[in-house]
Amino acid sequence: MAFRRHVQRSNPGTFGQNKRTWTPTVLYSIDGCPVLVWHVASLRELFRGDNPAPSEIHRYPPEYVPKFYFAEKHVLAFGDAGGDNTEGEFEEAFSNLRRRPDGRTVSELHFFLRQVAAGLLGLIPPSTAEFDVFGQLARSAGQFRMGHTSNNYMNYLRSGIGQLG
């Protein structure tokens, strides 16, 4: 039984114009049969608790590895579906998501990552401070930047996470 995740736009034709109004909708399906549609109006509403962020998040603490894996596995799927983005695009999308989780969508990558964040928040509910996992992902992508068009971050993910399946 194959499990696939599809992201749907609720109002096609408005993205890419001055008006960016995608309603976040996540549709999960098993073997093509819809099993759940979840409308997430606000990511901030999914934050829970007041736990502080780990002091050394840049070292990928063991308890955060599932969160990083969840996000980066979906990043690979996005790249496989539509081509690799550059490190700069990842930095911008991850950073915008961390700073303004409910802000307007600035790119297709940002829109996709917002859906990933909603899924992550639904599965592993963090506090606002713990949501900094996306800030660390922005920093990670930046470490691979070799120029304006490099996509070393995606190559790195494919060599590590891609091998895990």
pLDDT at position 1: 37
Tens-digit pLDDT profile for residues 48-89: 888 888 777 667 778 888 888 888 899 888 888 888 888 889
Dihedral over alpha carbons 121, 123, 125, 129 (to 10 degrees):
-50
Distance CA 12, CA 14 (A): 6
Tens-digit pLDDT profile for residues 91-100: 999 999 989 9
pLDDT at position 92: 92
Q: Which two tokens stand for residue 95?
A: 């950073």
- The full 3-state SS of 71-101, as one line of letters, equals HHHHHHHHHHHHCCCCHHHHHHHHHHHHHCC
pLDDT at position 141: 84
The chain-wide mean pLDDT, for the chain, equals 76
Task: Report whether pLDDT(165) > 70.
Answer: no
**pTM beyond cutoff 0.75:** no
Largest CA distance in the chain: 43
Distance CA 150, CA 147 (A): 5
pLDDT at position 31: 61
Tens-digit pLDDT profile for residues 142-163: 888 777 777 888 888 888 875 6
